[in-house]
Amino acid sequence: MIKKIKSDIKTSIKTRKINVFFLFLFFAFIILIFTKLSKQYTNTVVFKIDKINVPPENIILNDSNAVLNITLKAHGFRWLTYYFSKPKIAIDFVKDVDIIDSAFVWSKSKAYLLASTQFGKQVELLNIAPDTLRFRFDVNLVKKVPVILNADIKFAQGFDSVESYKITPDSIKVIGPNVLASQVNSIETESIKMIDIKSDIKKAIKLILPKNSQDLKFSNKTVNLAATVEKFTEGTLKVPVTIKNIPNNISIKYFPKTVNVTYYTSLNNFKAIKAKDFRVECDFSKTITNQSFLLPELTTFPATVKRAKINQQHIEFIIIE
């Protein structure tokens, strides 16, 4: 028993010695790091350009994505910030650039203002390369173009859309350099396929934007497709035939006086549709010599009818002397 206690005491003392050793080692490492970071170092860093206050009527083209190689002298603590975050330099397109030969030009002569405005007193700016940056630009064009639906929609038997498909928005704005935006005349949606549809359609669809369109902006990247879907049926009505453009010096008799018109509409609207809502006309002026028939045309039908047709191709007539 006594031997066990002695053994436990010795083990505890050894463990404490080890812990103290690692604690001192840790503190020594921290002191070393702080000593290193408190020293000044000189290095060259690649800075991306943060373009600010670009005039709204201009757009900077993507081939103007220049960078600056800046040589700095700073304490290690400051260098840590550059390693953990991508360094950027802000160039003000109102104060820092000139317009030369259709380009915004930034020169090294204005660069040393950066030392005080963007780096602070603890950083010494030693060198900047290149001496000059050119940013090509173009005048923005705002153009409205239609959206073209690219869809294959099949309804279940006896179902159909009450009205035409509604796309919201049905047109979008294209904003960008005139040379690029002027070439865009329409935007298509991604291809969608829907089958056996029995209920209302509500679907967001992506737009197919032009390839290599980094210099263009679009007011929308998606549109919403909507359609009211109802059960449909066919109906048939007898509609009177009207003859127009008969010369004043002749009279005619024609047959039949009425024709059957078949129409396709929703069940909800079926009972409201009457024969008076349709108009079938024959234009006598379109006849030729020795022709004994007229061609009926459906000139009016209700907006609630999806489609309609006349079940009669000819109207026979004779001229009365």
The one-letter amino acid code at 254 reads: Y
Task: Report the share of the chain in percent with pLDDT over 90.
Answer: 44
Can you tell me the distance from the alpha carbon of 96 to that of 117, in angstroms, rounded to the nearest whole number?
12
Residue type, 200: D
Instruction: Report residue 133 as tokens.
Output: 């940056």
Consecutive H or E run containing 269:
helix 267-270
Q: pLDDT for 185-201, tens place per residue?
A: 999 999 999 999 999 99
* pLDDT given for residue 37 in this prediction: 46
Distance (Å, rounded) from C-alpha 271 to C-alpha 40?
90
Of all residues in the chain, the percent with pLDDT exceeding 70 is 77
Question: Which tens digit of pLDDT belongs to each residue from 3-41?
Answer: 554 455 455 545 555 555 555 555 555 555 555 545 666
| Digit-coded pLDDT (tens) for 227-262 | 999 999 999 999 999 999 998 888 999 999 999 999
Please give the mean pLDDT across all residues of the chain: 82
- Which pLDDT band, with edges at 50, 70 and 90, does 319 fall under? confident
For the stretch 292-316, pLDDT in tens is: 999 999 999 999 999 999 999 999 9
Q: Phi and psi at residue 235, in whole multiples of 5°?
A: -140, 160
38-75 pLDDT, tens digit per residue, is 566 677 777 788 888 888 678 787 655 678 887 777 65
Q: Give the pairing type, strands 98-99 and 159-161.
A: unpaired
Place 114 in a pLDDT band, splitting at 50, 70 and 90: low
What are the strands, taking DSSP E only, across 112-150? Answer: 124-129, 132-148
CA distance 66 to 106: 11
Residue 112: the pLDDT is 58
Query: Which pLDDT does position 242 carry in this prediction?
Result: 95
pLDDT of res. 85: 67
Residue ranges of domains in the chain, CATH in brackets = 40-130 (no CATH), 139-227 (2.170.120.40), 232-320 (2.170.120.30)
Say how far apart CA 27 and CA 30 lie, in whole Å.
5
98 pLDDT higher than 90? no
